[in-house]
Amino acid sequence: MKAKTVATVLKGSYYILKMSGSLLSAWLTLGWRVGRARRSFENQLVQGGMTKEDARQISEVYSELKDQMMSTVKGAISNARKSSGNSHFSLNNAASA
């Protein structure tokens, strides 16, 4: 039975690390692509005759949207962790009753 527990913990750790790597990769890629899109958008606006300062202010929307997306993902992960912890707690209480 102890070998099964160790195998389960190792398997769970593997999947957590794999998911963490994927999330980190997505976060880095998103930040890089948003930066590129923002610079490109600013250049297009400047080429169209807008001042650099105005173009920069308008392009800030890209960064704000990225920040909102990341906070949504962080909130979903946080809520999932809280709900899994609460369900585990309630199952233990129900089993002991």
Q: Over 50: is that where the pLDDT of 40 sits?
A: yes
CA 77 to chain centre: 8
pTM: 0.58
Cα–Cα nearest to 68, from 24, 32, 29, 34: 34
Which whole-number Å values give the CA distances from 53 to 37, 57, 94, in the listed order?
17, 6, 61
Per residue in 16-27, pLDDT tens? 999 889 888 988
Average pLDDT, the chain: 82
Give the mean model confidence (pLDDT) for residues 42-47.
94
pLDDT band at 95 (very low <50, low <70, confident <90, very high): very low
Q: Over 70: is that where the pLDDT of 88 sits?
A: no
Enumerate residues 6+ apart whose C-beta is below 8 A from 52. Answer: 42, 46
